[in-house]
Structure formats: structure tokens, C-alpha cells
């Protein structure tokens, strides 16, 4: 499968996540996330066993610092999942989509503050424009868009940790789920009326199927993304990353019927303008790099 198709499919599937989580709206957000951790662990480790890609496990076991790093990334991922699922099931799909629109700009700030990177002029303009959009939404909503900011901050920090970690996408997810799954199982046992034997107590058959599908639904887009990212340019990947929040935004307005008055839309317009500036900067930078390489 071509890399462009793999990456596009990953972002399309991520964009359709609100439909999946809405199908589980009768289940508490915390329980959904706990089930997702357990079944993602089963699926990912089953995949690794089937692919015979377990050579890395012994090396990781001898590196407590690496395990600690992935424990932290697992906690960030869980908090991101929990906030996202809660947002979808409480009618905040549009604001959740804003979080993923803002994430690339949060990455610029994290790169500056943590990694000592020096953003280019257009990147600073993009961040400033996005800040104006967030300020406008805060003034018009009467509160900060905390769901969007929480999602952007948690996923941005998660991406920062994964950027500096030596494991690949599948192995990293496997280690994260290995950390999360035992805790999730204990929590599910405490929350279920009959302990672990009553894991699906009171749930209809379709709900059980949706929960069991959480493993592949989580892992497959990540694997598609990892495969596609290796085959296409960063500029193309940077453009595709807006496919997911765009689909979520359209679902929130058209499918779930969330209100979007013109005043609120103006705040989104500023965010989109910031992303257009950011994308233009990435395109121009890649063109300069290619020109220098060809010289």
C-alpha cells in the first residue's frame, strides 16, 4: 500500500473516532478507557508475537529509566483518551476537534521551551494568531476552551516524550499498554459489580463487541501512520494531520448537531488561519532544503 494512502487512512480513521465512542455513550468514559487499555494490550502483544518482534523486550527490561519514561507517556496518553472520550460523549466534539487543530502549534512551543529549538518567523506568527483565536473563544464562551487546551497539551507532551524515546510506534504502544493493562484490570474489577467475572455485566451484546474492538481500533491507525510516515515527506505528513480534526469538526456540526454560532466560528477561523501560516512555512522550508540539497 502506498505511503500516502496509509497515512491518509490513519488520519481518516482517527477522524471517525467520535462515531465509535458515541456508540459507547451508555458506558462511563473511565470504563471505556480502561477497556481500551486492556484490549489494546491483548491485540498489540498478540501482533508482536505473531510477527516475532519480541527481541527488544529483554533490553527494555534492563532499562528502568526507559520504562519510567513510557510509564509517564502512558499516563499522558490515558489522560488524553479520558478527556477525549468524555468530550465526545458529552456533546463537545467540535471543541475536541479544536484541540487537535491546535496541537501542531503546541508542538512548536514545546520544541522551543523543552528542546531549545528556534522557531522560524512564520511559525511565531502562526502561534500568535492561534493565541488570538484561543483568547477570542475564551472571551466569547466566558471560559477558556479547556477541553481543547487539555487535549492539545496532553497530546503535545505525549508526542514530545515519544519523539525522544528510542522505541518504534508498535513497540512503544506495546510497552505503554503493558504498563496500563494491569492497573486497568484492577480498576475494572473494582468498578464491575461481580469483579472481573462481571466485566460486561449489564451490557448488551453490541456494546461488548464495541469494547472488544477497542484494541484493533486503537492500534490499526497507529500502524498505518507509522508505515506511511516512513514513505512520504514531512510536508505531506504535516498537511495530512489536519484531515482528522477536520472530519471531527464536520461530524460535530453535521452529525451530532452541535451549535456553532458565527461568534464562535470567528475563533475557529483564527485557528485555521494560524494553521495555514504554519503549513505554508513547512512547505517553504522543505522547498529550501531540497534546493540546498540539489545545489
Q: How far apart are CA 92 and CA 135, in angstroms?
A: 19
Report pLDDT for 85: 93
What mean pLDDT do residues 146-162 have?
88
Q: How confident is the model at residue 150 (pLDDT cuts 50, 70, 90)?
A: very high
Report pLDDT for 224: 83
Q: Which of 175, 204, 214, 148 is nearest to 64 (CA)?
A: 175
**What would you report as the CA-atom Rg of the chain, rounded to the nearest whole angstrom?**
20
Q: How confident is the model at residue 237 (pLDDT cuts 50, 70, 90)?
A: low
Report pLDDT for 119: 79
Report pLDDT for 180: 92
- pLDDT at 284 exceeding the cut of 90: no
Report pLDDT for 236: 67
What mean pLDDT do residues 108-131 have?
84
- pLDDT at 234 exceeding the cut of 80: no
Report pLDDT for 107: 80
Q: How far apart are CA 142 and CA 174, in angstroms?
A: 41
83 vs 59, residue with greater confidence: 83
Note the pTM of the prediction, 2 decimals. Answer: 0.86
Q: How confident is the model at residue 169 (pLDDT cuts 50, 70, 90)?
A: confident
Q: Kindly provide the b/e burial profile for residues 55-66, where b requires at least 16 CB atoms within 10 angstroms of the residue's own CB.
A: eeeeebeeeeeb
| Start-end of H helices in the chain | 3-15, 17-23, 29-51, 55-61, 64-89, 93-113, 121-141, 146-164, 169-191, 205-212, 214-229, 234-240, 243-250, 262-294
Give pLDDT tens digits for 5-45.
888 898 899 999 999 998 898 889 999 999 999 999 999 99
Q: How far apart are CA 81 and CA 251, in angstroms?
A: 18
| Start-end of H helices in 16-117 | 17-23, 29-51, 55-61, 64-89, 93-113
122 and 278 Cβ atoms separated by less than 8 Å: yes
Domain spans in the chain, listed from the N-terminal domain onward? 3-294
What mean pLDDT do residues 217-232 have?
78
193 vs 269, residue with greater confidence: 269
151 and 84 Cβ atoms separated by less than 8 Å: yes
Q: How confident is the model at residue 295 (pLDDT cuts 50, 70, 90)?
A: low
Amino acid at each position: 500500500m502506498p505511503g500516502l494512502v496509509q497515512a491518509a487512512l490513519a488520519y481518516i480513521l482517527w477522524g471517525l473516532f467520535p462515531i465509535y465512542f458515541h456508540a459507547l455513550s451508555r458506558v462511563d468514559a473511565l470504563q471505556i478507557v480502561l477497556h481500551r487499555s486492556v484490549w489494546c494490550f491483548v491485540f498489540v502483544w498478540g501482533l508482536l508475537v505473531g510477527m516475532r518482534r519480541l527481541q527488544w523486550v529483554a533490553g527494555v527490561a534492563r532499562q528502568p529509566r526507559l520504562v519510567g519514561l513510557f510509564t509517564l507517556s502512558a499516563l499522558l496518553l490515558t489522560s488524553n483518551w479520558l478527556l477525549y472520550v468524555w468530550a465526545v460523549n458529552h456533546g463537545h466534539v467540535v471543541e475536541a476537534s479544536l484541540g487537535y487543530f491546535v496541537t501542531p502549534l503546541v508542538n512548536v512551543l514545546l520544541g522551543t521551551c523543552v528542546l531549545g529549538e528556534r522557531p522560524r518567523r512564520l511559525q511565531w506568527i502562526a502561534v500568535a494568531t492561534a493565541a488570538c483565536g484561543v483568547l477570542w473563544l475564551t472571551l466569547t464562551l466566558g471560559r477558556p476552551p479547556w477541553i481543547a487546551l487539555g487535549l492539545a497539551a496532553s497530546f503535545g507532551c505525549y508526542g514530545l516524550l515519544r519523539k525522544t524515546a528510542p522505541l518504534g510506534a508498535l513497540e512503544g504502544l506495546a510497552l505503554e499498554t503493558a504498563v496500563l493493562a494491569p492497573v486497568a484490570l484492577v480498576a475494572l474489577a473494582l468498578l464491575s459489580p461481580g469483579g472481573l467475572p462481571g466485566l460486561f455485566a449489564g451490557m448488551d451484546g453490541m456494546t461488548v463487541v464495541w469494547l472488544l474492538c477497542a484494541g484493533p481500533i486503537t492500534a490499526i491507525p497507529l500502524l498505518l501512520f507509522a508505515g506511511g510516515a516512513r514513505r512520504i515527506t514531512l510536508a505531506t505528513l504535516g498537511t495530512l494531520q489536519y484531515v482528522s480534526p477536520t472530519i471531527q469538526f464536520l461530524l460535530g456540526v453535521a452529525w451530532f448537531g452541535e451549535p456553532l454560532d458565527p461568534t464562535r466560528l470567528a475563533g475557529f477561523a483564527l485557528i485555521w488561519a494560524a494553521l495555514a501560516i504554519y503549513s505554508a512555512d513547512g512547505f517553504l522550508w522543505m522547498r529550501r532544503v531540497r534546493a540546498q540539497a540539489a545545489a
